[in-house]
Amino acid sequence: MKRSKYVCQECGSESVKWLGRCPDCGGWNSFYEIVESPKKGSPLSRFGTGQAPVSLSQLPSEDFQRVPVPISEFHRVLGGGIVPGSLVLIGGDPGIGKSTLLLQLADAIAESVGSVLYVSGEESLPQIGMRAQRLGIHHPGIHLLAEGSLEQIVAQSEAMRPGLLIVDSIQSVVLQDLGSAAGTVAQVRECTLRLMNLAKGSNLPVFLVGHVTKEGMIAGPKVLEHMVDTVLYLEGERYHSFRILRAVKNRFGSTNEVGIFEMKGKGLAEVLDPAQSFLAMRPPHPIGSTLTVAMEGARPMLVEIQALASRTVFGLPRRTANGVDFNRLLMISAVLSRRVGLALHDQDIFVNVVGGLKIEEPAADLALAIAIASSRRNAALDPGMVFLGEVGLGSELRGVSQTERRLAEAQRLGFTSFVVPKTGERHPGPNVHHIATLGEALALAIGRRGPEPEEEENREDE
Ligand code: TYD
Ligand code: MG
């Protein structure tokens, strides 16, 4: 008997009937029918071991021997090397450099693990060969396989017994007896489950590539996150040629870690002194431009906020907000005029979040206020200072959620100077300033508290 169900391709939510809108993630038109052919016993049943419970005190402390990765940024993000039998998912946009990174990983550890099996369901052997040549990789321990059938991949891996298996990508492999097309939720889940069994069963570390997909029939890495041990995302574009490898989930380490790489002609190179590189992208004495760390779900993200105050030429002063909430901009402007005494009544104010990002949280208030004040006073700021804090109507600075994580992110990127709200909590670090009011934050960031420059300076930019 054939059974069918409907699965949301965005979040993996299931339903017995078709729905126009997913009740879990709110996606529209994301349900697709999946016909399940009858299976001989669920693959889950293989997880049963029939063991008796063990006392916590009798467990050996750490019984896995991690394999060190000579690429130190990668090593750290993994939580200190590769754990045997672990399943690691590397997600990212197409073309961001996932295949490049994994080929470099294969080269780096082929020596210590003996052999690596690199399976590609997307590229032919000559294509992989060309990339390897470009990267200068020719280690004999790397074995390549262009294969899309998961049964074949498992069989080849069991015959070869490599020290590391790489599957590039999970969306391009299929289990034939499943009936549905490659890349559907049913396929990627079932294939991941089989690879999980392979990994746990033979203590083999497995790396999976998962393309981030926007929509359509292809299931993205999100639907696999709960199944695998470690989820890493390779991100880029916002930082130009920089690539950030970030742990989003890690059963064997911290998720505060990021590794920073740069895409060069010969593949991804580690960026060991990120502060220099990130600061180099900022003007040495920025006016009206500040940095803050916004949270995108659980992910901290460094963002730059720019403001320009310019004398109103005709009529009412205008306020333009790109990437921040318009009403918040009005509120911060009012607090700056009333509580800090900044003359904004005859100024047009333009605000922009660099890179087209949208910030919805109040944690960026302080950065926004400092940017506006710096532009109005034509005062230069420290390019490496990061501002966190919500601004209240009384100009008091209020604490923001996950300050620890945000600071850790900025510190990882090499920034060392921070302004945070003065709450009960103290954040360690030589240059973390705990500040109570917007006025004090301005005094620290801009220093001088004289009157605003008059028309001469403003006229220049008209
Ligand atoms: P790739 O690893 O194929 O991306 P993914 O597997 O995530 O889809 O990398 C693709 C891009 O990286 C490609 O556009 C070219 C660029 N690239 C370099 O700039 N230098 C290199 O040495 C290599 C191999 C790729
Ligand atoms: Mg690829």
For residue 83, give the nearest of 227, 249, 256, 205 by alpha carbon.
205
pTM for the full predicted model: 0.73
| CB-CB contact of 30 with 215 (8 Å) | yes
What confidence score (pLDDT) does residue 32 get? 77
Looking at the CA of 265, name the nearest ligand.
Answer: 1
Buried b (16+ CB within 10 A) or exposed e, 102-118: bbbbbbbbbeebebbbb
260 and 73 Cβ atoms separated by less than 8 Å: yes
Does 171 contact ligand 1 (Cβ within 6 A)? Answer: no
CB of 100 shorter than 6 A to ligand 1: yes
Return the CA Rg of the chain.
Answer: 26
Closest ligand 1 atom, CA of 101?
2
**What is the reported pLDDT for 143?**
95
Q: Which ligand is nearest to the CA of 237?
A: 1
Beta-sheet strand order (sheet of 289-296) = 319-322, 347-353, 299-311, 289-296, 385-387, 417-421, 432-435
What is the number of H-type helices and E-type strands within the chain?
11, 21
Ligand 1 mutation target, pool 263, 266, 268, most atoms within 8 A of CB? 263
Cα of 267 from ligand 1 centre, angstroms: 7
Ligand 1 pocket check for 265: Cβ under 6 Å = yes
Structure tokens at 134: 């470009």
* CA of 263 relative to ligand 2 center, distance in Å: 14
**Residue 437 has what pLDDT?**
95
Distance 94 CA to ligand 1 centre (A): 9
What's the gap in Å between 34 CA and the centre of ligand 1?
33
User: Which strand ranges, in their side-by-side order, compose the sheet holding 3-8?
Assistant: 14-15, 3-8, 31-36
Q: What is the rounded CA–CA span in Å between residue 166 and residue 300?
A: 28
Which ligand 1 atom sits closest to the C-alpha of 102? 2
Q: What is the pLDDT of residue 460?
A: 45
Which class in CATH covers the domain with range 277-461? alpha beta
CA 424 → CA 398, 399, 435, 436, distances in Å?
11, 9, 12, 11
Give the pLDDT of residue 197.
93
Ligand 1 touching residue 94 (CB < 6 A): yes
Angle at 145 between CA 217 and CA 84, to 5 degrees: 85
Percentages helix, strand, coil for the chain, rounded to the nearest 5? Answer: 30, 30, 40
Q: Which amino acid is at 313?
A: V
Q: 């966190």: which residue's tokens? A: 388
**From the CB of 338, is ligand 1 less than 6 Å away?**
no
pLDDT at 458: 46
Give the Å distance between the CA of 187 and the centre of ligand 1.
26
354 lines ligand 1 (CB under 6 A): no
Q: Which ligand is nearest to the CA of 122?
A: 2
Per-residue model confidence (pLDDT) at position 40 = 53
Full pLDDT tens readout for the chain, 462 residues:
567 788 777 777 888 888 899 888 888 887 877 766 555 555 555 566 678 888 888 877 666 688 999 999 899 899 889 999 999 999 988 889 999 999 999 999 998 898 999 999 999 999 999 999 999 999 999 999 999 999 999 999 999 999 999 999 899 999 988 777 888 888 888 999 999 999 999 999 999 999 887 654 556 777 888 899 999 999 875 556 788 898 889 999 888 778 889 888 899 999 877 767 777 778 888 999 999 998 877 778 888 999 999 999 988 999 999 999 999 999 999 999 999 999 999 999 999 988 777 888 999 999 999 999 999 999 999 998 999 999 999 999 999 999 988 998 888 888 889 999 999 888 888 889 999 999 999 999 987 555 566 654 444 444
In short, whether 95's Cβ falls inside 6 Å of ligand 1 is: yes
Task: Point out the ligand nearest to the CA of residue 101.
Answer: 1
- Ligand 1 atom nearest the C-alpha of 96 is 7
Which of 89, 93, 100 best tests ligand 1's pocket when mutated (most atoms within 8 Å of CB)?
100
263 lines ligand 1 (CB under 6 A): yes
Does the C-beta of 267 come closer than 6 Å to ligand 1?
Answer: yes
Ligand 1 atom showing the smallest separation from residue 168 Cα: 6
Ligand nearest to the CA of 241: 1
CATH code of the domain made up of 66-272: 3.40.50.300
Residues with CB under 5 A from ligand 2 (ion): 99
- Residue by residue, DSSP assigns 91-119 as EE-TTSSHHHHHHHHHHHHHHHHS-EEEE
Residue 33, helix vs strand vs coil: strand
352 CB neighbour count, 10 Å cutoff: 19
